[in-house]
Amino acid sequence: MGTLEVTTDKGRLDIELIHRFLATEAYWSRGIPRATVERAIAGSLCFGGYLDSHQVAFARVVTDGATFGYLADVFVLPEHRGQGHSRTLMAAVMAHPQLQGLRRFSLATSDAHGLYAAFGFAAPVRPQTLMEKLDPDVYTKASGKP
């Protein structure tokens, strides 16, 4: 099994692995272009999870480091799931010094509510105050693929 090592060192990120997972396996980013992944990584606080120096997990937070954070693109490769790595990754995210004292820390998920609830996330108290502009097909429209 092994203990997951988590670091924010962007130089260690396996961009090809991250792009491949997000573009082909993640329900929220199917078809995402590599250039978009690279821009997202460049503008985020990123967490890589490693076993024996091989990346098996990823998460990123878009933040100003003072008032808000948005957790995105959290994943553990399928062959490494069920071993507690997602909890280890999330514990590292939540403990990061730049993410302490935020007024709002949010995320969107369709299937991992239990994981995030264990770290204090809950449905919005006042959902009527939240708005979004959502284009779920933006990546497939941009590429011309159905």
Strand-by-strand arrangement of the 45-51 sheet: 5-7, 45-51, 54-63, 68-76, 104-107
DSSP per-residue letters across 51-95: ETTEEEEEEEEEE-SSSEEEEEEEEE-GGGTTSSHHHHHHHHHHH
Q: Global pTM?
A: 0.93
Q: At what angle do helices 34-42 and 15-24 cross, to 10 degrees?
A: 120
Residue pLDDT, tens place only, 88-129? 999 999 999 999 999 999 999 999 999 999 999 999 999 999
**Per the structure block, which two tokens stand in for 137?**
């097909």
| pLDDT tens profile 8-27 | 999 999 999 999 999 999 99
Domains of the chain, by residue range, sit at 5-143
Q: Which CATH class is domain 5-143?
A: alpha beta
Phi and psi at 74, nearest 5°, equal -80, 125
